[in-house]
Structure 1
Amino acid sequence: MAKKPVHYVVVDAFTETTFKGNPAAVCFLEEEEEKDVEWLQAVAREFNISMTCFLTRVATSGMDGSSPRFRLRWFTPVTEVDLCGHATLAAAHTLLTSGMVDSDTIEFMTLSGILTAKRVPEMKSSDISKIQGGDVPGIWIELNFPVVPIAEDDDAKRISSVSKVLNGTSIIEIKKTAKDDHFIVIPSAKEVEEFQPQFDEIQRCPGEGIIITGLAQPDSGFDFVSRYFAPKLGLNEDPVCGSAHCALAPYWSEKQGKNELVAYAVISLSLSNGM
């Protein structure tokens, strides 16, 4: 039997500028295709960018007026993950701008449950990411994602490991997320930006990854800044980590007493492609 080609696109999410933001490969599989995990992982390894996702349309009767639904899976170059913000945004952008769906709302069946993406008017701004590329007009997309709870970290060994990774950087709080990431609050946006990660030390830390965050400068137009490091997932530093904001947004919402936040993902000058 002849092998079927896999249609794919590469989208730079969270940016209006080519070669910026966070790249994701969006691969479309036929409904009848059953690809094993080894094949999916091999494709992600071949792309070798921060995330590769796979979409499969779920057959519906079309009689109940429900939104189009797709299975969605995400892979870094080394493993499958259960939540990814920027690749979901990339998938939604591709579907909504390509004519593949006749709807303003899409549902994704994922390891984190049903996630929704919705085309919305431009007047809503602070909680929506605008993505634009090529000759396709820019659109606004709202993602409905789960909250990732954070809690105090009372494990002395974990705290000691994280303190070593921070290498003298002042720490306000050390917490842990339900995704087993370290959640570290440091005093300022400037210190977040200037932090020099030691990836070997981060690799040896217990847990999955490390989120560092701090308040943005008062005149910056942002509420908080962050960076995310996950060498165990094949991502030394993720250029813009959407899923990390499932923990960041509720934390800073409570701290600042705001329901709408504008976040900025600091990009290290030494970061080339997120790997």
Structure 2
Amino acid sequence: MKLTLFQIDAFTNQLFSGNPAAICPLEAWLEDDKMQKIAAENNLAETAFFVKNGGQYDIRWFTPTVEVDLCGHATLAAAFVLYHQLGEVTPEILFYSHRSGHLRVAKEGNMLTLNFPVDQIHDIDFDWGMFKGLAIPAKEVLKGKTDYLFVYENERQVADMKPDFFEIAKLKARGIIITAPGDEVDFVSRFFGPQSGIDEDPVTGSAHTTLIPYWSNKLNKSQLTAKQLSARGGNLACELLGDRVYISGECVLYMVGEICV
């Protein structure tokens, strides 16, 4: 069987930056094990598979080691493929995930906007004496559906953080987000997910379902600008609207290929 595979750089307008995702359109679902093996072979943070189902596209996301509940940058990249490679003309694409429900992506010019549900986050007591994954204790720790959120004083602390991935992997979570107010944007972040096979994710759309409600409340504003401080970097325009978040960015095509499975 031959399948078309697209590789897209998401949340950027420049090649070799943002977050790369592999996108594999399917006529029908493959076996879970085969999709996981394709994702492992791609060795990117995420590989997304989708199947057209009436007026929507069912979508699933795999890291090199596990299937995940939600992935923002690969959903953005999937919409980019549909619009720019597969002839989709509707102003908004409806995706459906059996793990995260309905997800929408709207197109306006070169900008694509994710419409995702907000994460439910709450403060927790965190034992820094038992955790050696980060050299500097956070001033605040919260927990969402799948991730920890560690809040720091300033951008420099986030940028300079040297994580111990072996220790981070011991936490029972998809991964951890570290964040702080930005110098030139409203907030900055990094995402570490060795538990999911991704030591550091370049730009994590799904993490912003946690970050946007947190910073919207702290800064008392619904529209926010964000930057992820990975080596590749990525820029996001964000908005909180009720129980949904809007996360906007651009995408760039890197590769169109064919795989034989």
1:91-106 matched pairs, under 5 angstroms: 91-106=78-93
Residue in 2 that maps onto 1:246: 209
Q: Which residue of 1 aligns with 2:119?
A: 148
Q: Who is 2:248 aligned against?
A: none
Shift of 1:268: 4.0
Letter in 2 for 1:13: A
Structure 1 stretches (4+) deviating beyond 3 angstroms? 159-162
SS at match of 1:87: helix
Gaps of 5+ in 2: 233-261
Over aligned residues, Cα RMSD in angstroms? 1.5
Q: In structure 2, do the counterparts of structure 1 residues 197 and 140 end up closer, same or farther at CA, with 3 Å as the change threshold?
A: same
Cα deviation for residue 101 of structure 1 reads 1.7
Alignment partner, residue 232 of structure 1? 195
What is the Cα deviation at residue 170 of structure 1?
4.5
Stretches of structure 1 that go unaligned for 5 or more consecutive residues are 60-67, 122-138, 270-275
CA deviation after TM superposition for structure 1 residue 42, in Å: 0.5
Amino acid at match of 1:257: N
Larger CA Rg, structure 1 vs 2: 1
Q: 1:109 aligns with which of 96, 99, 124?
A: 96
State the Cα deviation string for residues 10-61 of structure 1 (Å, max 9, x = none): 000011111111000000111xx341110010000110011000011113xx
Q: SS of the counterpart of 1:165? A: coil
Instruction: Determine if contact 2:126/2:141 at 8 Å carries over to the other structure.
Output: no
Kindly provide the amino acid, as one letter, of the partner of residue 171 in structure 1: A
Looking at structure 2, the residues matched to 198 and 118 of structure 1 have their Cα atoms a distance apart, in angstroms, of 38
Following superposition, the deviation at residue 238 of structure 1 comes to: 0.3
Match of 1:73 among 57, 60, 74: 60
Query: Which residue of 1 is the match for residue 235 of structure 2?
Result: none
Partner secondary structure for residue 118 of structure 1 = strand
Aligned residues of 1:184 and 1:211 also touching (Cα < 8 A): yes
> What SS class does the counterpart of residue 193 from structure 1 fall into?
helix
Residues 176-201 of structure 1: CA distance to partner in whole angstroms, max 9, x if unpaired? Answer: 1122x211001100110000011111
Tell me how far 1:155 sits from its aligned partner: 5.6
Q: Which residue of 1 aligns with 2:243?
A: none
Count of residue correspondences: 231
1:126 aligns with: none
- The amino acid that maps onto 1:98 is Q
Q: Counterpart in 1 of 2:30?
A: 35
Structure with more relative contact order (C-alpha pairs < 8 Å, separation 6 or more): 2
The question of 1:48 aligning with 2:74 is answered no
Q: 1:208 to 1:102 in 2, by over 3 A?
A: closer
In structure 1, the residue matched to 2:178 is 212
Displacement after TM superposition at 1:104 (Å): 1.3
1:53 partner amino acid:
A
Partners of 1:178 and 1:250 in 2: CA distance = 13
The AA in structure 2 aligned to 1:90 is A
| Aligned counterpart for 1:175 among listed residues 142, 166, 176 | 142
Cα offsets for 1:106-146 (capped at 9, x unmatched) = 1001120010111125xxxxxxxxxxxxxxxxx11111011
Superposed counterparts of 1:112-127, under 5 Å: 112-120=100-108
The separation in 1 between residues aligned to 2:231 and 2:162, in whole angstroms, is 9
Look up the equivalent residue of 1:75 and give its one-letter code. Answer: F
